[in-house]
Structure 1
Amino acid sequence: MSTSTNTNSLEDIEEDKLEQLQLTLPNKLWLGKYPTYLYQGFWCLVLEPTISFQTHFQAQDSDIILASLPKSGTTWLKFLIFSVINRNKFPDFSKHPLHTQNPHELVLQFELKLYSKIKGSQPDLTKLPSPRLFATHIPYPSLPDSIKTSKCKIVYVCRNPLDTFISLWHFNLKCERDETITPDMIMKYFENFCKGGFAFGPYEDYILGYWDEHTRNPDKVLFLEYEGLKADPSAQVMRLAEFMGCPFSEEEQKASLVEEIIKLCSLDSLKEKDVNKSGKFYDFVENYALFRKGEVGDWINYLNPSMIKELLHDLHEKLKKSGFSFKYYNE
C-alpha cells in the first residue's frame, strides 16, 4: 500500500526551480481541484510552503509542536495545549483568548500559514514568547533537521482510520471544491484513503513515523490517541502537561483546574463560540467547518463494516508488523 519515496535533495532549492521539481513528481488533484505531489513519500498538498518550512525553520529547545493528520484532533489539541501552557497567564477563564480567537490563530500551522515562499520574505518567529507553540501536518521523516536535532518537544495525536476518514470526508464536502464530488461517492474516496491517496497520506506511514520516534525517544515525542483523550481526558491532559514541562501541582489538581480546562476546551463549548461559527481563518474553508461531532465510532453511520474489512486489511497488517496497535480503539 505504501507509495515510493522521492529522494530529491532540496535544501538549497530556488523558487524558480520549483516548477521543474513539480514536473518530476507524481501528482493528482485533491477534491478535484487542489494539486498534490508525491514528495518524500507523502502526498503533499502545499509543496512550496513545505519546502520553505524545511529549509528555513530553526527550532528552539523550548518549542512545542503539535503534529497530526488533518481531522484527527488538531483543533481540540491546539486549544488544550495553549490553555495548559498559558493557564497562569490567563487565570480568568471568562476572559480567555478562546472566546475571541479561533484555535488556529493561537497555534499557527507551519505549512498552511507561516511559510509560503522558498525565497524572499520569511516569518520572524524570534520574538514569539517562549515556549513557542506551532502545529504541522508534515510527516516526521520530512520535518526540518532543526526540529529533530533540538530538544524541542513534539505532541502527536493519532485517531483511528475510520473516524479520521469520516471527519475528513465531511470536511472535504464543505471546502471550496469541484462540485462534481458528491456525498454518494464516499466509498470511492474511502478506497482511495485506504490506498494512501489523500493529502499527507499514506495513513499507516504517517502514524509509524511518529510512533517509531516516540518509542525511540519518548521524551522527544508524546504519542496521544484521540480515543484515549475522549475516554479519560483528565489523565491524558495531566500526561500532556507533564510532557510539556508544566505539570499540574497538587493545589491545582485539588482546585479541579484540570477539569476546568477540559470543560473550557470541550468541542461542544468551542462550537458555540461566535468566532468559530462564522468567518474564515483559512482561505479554503469557513471556520464552522473546523468543528463537527468529534465522536468515537461515528464511522458506523456511514460505512458498511463488511465492505471496509478487505480495504483495511493491508493497513492493519503493516501497523501490526511494526508493533503498533491502538490502545484505546478496536473496530
Structure 2
Amino acid sequence: MNARVLLVGDMTDRLLAVAARLPAAPILLTSAAELPRAPLLIEHLPETNRPRRETLLRDRLRHLIEVHEIGTVVLDGVPEDGLLAATADHPGVTWLWLRPAMWRRGQGLRWRGRSAAFDAVLEPGEFATAGDEGWTVYDREGVTTVAPITALDRADLLDRAAARERLGLGDEPAVVCRGLTTTVPGFTVIEPEARALRAADLAVATAGYTAYHELLAAGVPTVFVPDEDAGPDDQLARARFAAAAGAALCAERAADLADLLALAARPEVRAALASRCAEVAFENGASAAAEWVGSRASPASPASPAPTGRGPRS
C-alpha cells in the first residue's frame, strides 16, 4: 500500500479501530465536535449550512487527495453530495464505504443506490444483526461483512482484578455509565478506559454501536437504555436483541429504568448476564476490516487515474 489512506467520518470510533491496524498511519477528515486523541494527522471540517458544507467537503477532499497523494478514501457514514462529487473528480482513487447497518425501518432510503459510486462496500458487523429491519438488509449485492468492530480485542482487556487495581478500587461494587448519567444505590460510579471495562460490576448505557459492542465483548452486565434521539440508528432493536439473547437488560421506557437497575443490582442476575455474554462472545472485526481496506487500497498515484469497476456515478 504505497499511496496514503484517507478516512472520512464524524463517528470516528470504528475508523480509529481500523486505522490502528493499518500498516501505515492514515489521515482522518472529520466534523466531530471533539477531535479524537490518536497518533495520526487529523483534519477538521467545520460544521456549516448544507449547500456550503457540500462545496467545502468536495474542496477539502480535493486538497487532501492532491497534497497527501491519497490513493484510497474510506468513508464511515453516509455519502453526502459533496463526497459523491469527489468520487467523480478523482476516478484514480479507490473509494471504499464502511456502510452502517441497523437503520430504523423506513429511514435512510435516500442513500440506497449510492454504493455504485464506490469500488467496494464493507458492513461493520452487528451483534443484533438478526433484529435488523433497516434498508441495508435488502441491499446485499457486493457487500462484505465483518464481525463487530471495536478498538480492542478481548485479549487486550484487563481482567477484573487488574482493572480494579488500575482504578484503585476496593471491594465496593462499581457501575459505569455510557451516554447517560445515573446512579445505582450501593454502587460507585467509575469512568474506566475501554481496556479496564471489566472493573465494572454493572453498566448503564445507551445502545450506540461502540458502547453496545464494547460492553458485551467485555462481559459487563448492562442495562441498555435506547436513545430516542439517535436519529436513524436503531438503538431500540439493538437493546431488545441483547435482552432477548439473555446478554443484557433493556429499558424500553425511562419509567422502566429504576426497576431494571434494582434487578441488575442483584449478584445472581449480574452473574447470569456475564455468563451469557461469554457464551455468545463475538470476535473483533477491526483486523479483518483493516485487511479488507489494505487488499483494495490503490498503490497508484491519483495523478494517473486507473480504470475502476465502479458503477455509474449518481
**Structure number with bigger Rg:** 2
TM-score, normalised via structure 1 length:
0.29
Structure 1 or 2: larger helix share? 1
Structure 1 or 2: larger strand share? 2
TM-score, normalised via structure 2 length:
0.30
